[in-house]
Structure 1
Amino acid sequence: MSPGPELIQNPLSQTITCDGHTLQVDIYRSAEEVDWLLEGVNEDGTSHVWEDRFATDQAALDAVHEAIDEEGGAAFF
């Protein structure tokens, strides 16, 4: 079995606490890609990966904050 592509974890990845719950926000890309992927993992281990790819890491981080502002933290829990 060959190893998968090398993933680059972005330093803007962070943990966000909202409404008493914790969401791990991961911003990453493969070494071959230029666009960033965004994933939120709640405290139960449920993952939400955005379908969109982001040209900048800040755009990815802004997207998760917009989702929390629009839908509330409960949308991830």
Structure 2
Amino acid sequence: MPENEQLYEFSEFSGEFVDDDVMVVIGIYRQADTNGDWTLEVVDQEGYSTVWEDLFDTDRDAFQEFLATVQRDGIRSFLEQSIHTVH
């Protein structure tokens, strides 16, 4: 997640997500005081981060992409991976 949270606005869709006994933290954020696009980041239980390279027009679009990834690849696809990006 961003180092200085004061510079970022977090979506209401951000937070903990649990599926199949696995918990991840979803971060959907953009620069504060802007109407910019949204970044999607998922952090697993060990602190490893998955960040989408593509930005999203809305925070809802970012959350829907997260849900689609969980449905397609499973929640465990976020585990035990070094920091990486998703295209």
Q: TM-score range by the shorter chain?
A: 0.7 to 0.9
Please list every run of at least 4 consecutive aligned residues from structure 1 whose deviation after the TM superposition is greater than 4 angstroms.
Answer: none
Q: Percent identity?
A: 31
Return the offset for 1:48: 0.4
- Report deviation, 1:37: 0.3
Number of the residue aligned with 1:26: 27
Matching residue within 56, 59, 62 for 1:57:
59
1:10 and 2:15 matched: no
What is the CA–CA distance in structure 2 between the aligned matches of 1:19 and 1:76, rounded to whole Å? 12
Number of residue pairs aligned between Structure 1 and Structure 2: 75
* Max Rg structure: 1
Amino acid of the structure 2 residue aligned with 1:70: R
The TM-score, its normalising length taken from structure 2, stands at 0.78
Aligned equivalents of 2:52 and 2:68: distance in 1?
Answer: 13
- Give 1:14 deviation, angstroms: 2.0
Structure 1 stretch displaced more, 31-40 or 61-70: 31-40
Structure 2 residue runs of 5 or longer lacking an equivalent are: 80-87
- 1:19-72 deviation line (CA, Å, top 9, x unaligned): 211010010001346100000000110000111100000000000000000001
Q: Which runs of 5+ in 1 are unaligned?
A: none
CA distance in 2, matches of 1:12, 1:66: 14
Q: How many Å separate the matches in 2 of 1:72 and 1:12?
A: 19
